[in-house]
Structure 1
Amino acid sequence: MTTSPRQERRSALPLPLAHQSVFSFRFTASPRGARLARRLASCQMDAWGWRYGTQAHDSVELITAELTANAVTHGRVPGRDAELRLSREDGGCVRVEVSDARGERLPEARDAGSEEDGGRGLLLVAALAKEWGTAPRPGAPGKTVWAVVPTAPAVTGGTGP
């Protein structure tokens, strides 16, 4: 079985955004948009050298999944996008920021023993992140929920940090 030249070319290219310290992506405030943001965060962590299956990669992917799901569930305003921003920080951390258009609806972590369905995603975020919080959305209505994830040194293979 042979591969097409297009497939060969694509696999020979370095991963995009590997040398940039910030990755930003606007996504539709829908479950599909949240899944795409999580997948792109996963690809970006791999491009930066934190491979699939490592603690840093999996923590950023899970935190991104939780924050984007919250943004599209609780922060959705029809016709407004949400935004994901990942940044490598000095000191061995990756900062995950998810912005939505609903500034009046701040996230609340529910008690682990609560009888209510849902609401425990922020407990996972708190457990995996060094710190997390909220801030007004810069230059737009809404809020940004952020988390700082500690990372081990990335595996460099020419495309890492």
Structure 2
Amino acid sequence: MAPTNATTTGDRPPALDAEARRAVFVLRADGEAVGEARHLVLEQLKGWDVHPEDCDTAALVVSELFTNAVIHTSSQTIACRLGDTPEQLLIQIEDDGTGRSTPTPQRAHPHDEGGRGLMLVKAVSRRWGLGSSENGRGRIVWAVLRAHRARRSDHLANADERRWT
């Protein structure tokens, strides 16, 4: 199925069924926590046997959305929620502050250092969107990605590649 890149504003993230695997972590809202968020996501998804390519895509999305929450909100903490089903991976980044603007993809100029994060999220996601947090103070930005289970042979091949390169 080709990505639709549909964006939903003011909507809640898609619901997960009872069988979905879930994980959540909360980090301080600063630039150093972005790398920690990437690491935590990669470790969780590898533990769930998500295909390595999908793990990398999820880490990219988390990095972009977490960075945006650090830069564009007055949050003290940022929550990352993961939901995994055989068909999809749901990523939610929730800030606890108020944003100065609504997240929208920008057209960055070639020499701009920023402004491409949501374009990347849109490009790799089936859908993404944003809505208010349940307490009404913060915002949730979410993305739905495809999710493939890694085969044990994939893990062994990747381990062999790391050993010999």
**Which protein has the larger Cα radius of gyration, Structure 1 or Structure 2?**
1
Paired position in structure 2 for 1:93: 88
Q: Distance in 2 between matches of 1:144 and 1:39?
A: 21
Q: Distance in 2 between matches of 1:21 and 1:140?
A: 26
Structure 1 residue 105 displacement after superposition: 2.6
Q: Which one has more relative contact order, counting CA pairs under 8 Å at least 6 apart?
A: 2
With the length of structure 2 as denominator, give the TM-score of the two structures. 0.72
- Structure 1 SS opposite 2:140: strand
Q: Distance in 2 between matches of 1:56 and 1:134?
A: 22
Paired position in structure 2 for 1:83: 79
With the length of structure 1 as denominator, give the TM-score of the two structures. 0.74
Paired position in structure 1 for 2:121: 125
Matched AA of 2:131: A
- Kindly tell me: are residues 44 and 31 of structure 1, through their superposed partners in 2, closer, same or farther at Cα, counting changes over 3 Å? same
Gaps of 5+ in 2: 1-18, 154-165
> Is residue 103–residue 136 contact of structure 1 (8 Å, CA) maintained in 2?
no
> Is residue 72–residue 99 contact of structure 2 (8 Å, CA) maintained in 1?
no
Structure 1 residue 92 displacement after superposition: 1.2
Paired position in structure 1 for 2:11: none
Gaps of 5+ in 1: 1-18
Superposed CA RMSD: 2.3
Paired position in structure 2 for 1:68: 66
Matched AA of 2:70: V
Paired position in structure 1 for 2:14: none
Paired position in structure 2 for 1:137: 133
How many residue pairs match? The answer is: 134
Identity level (%): 28
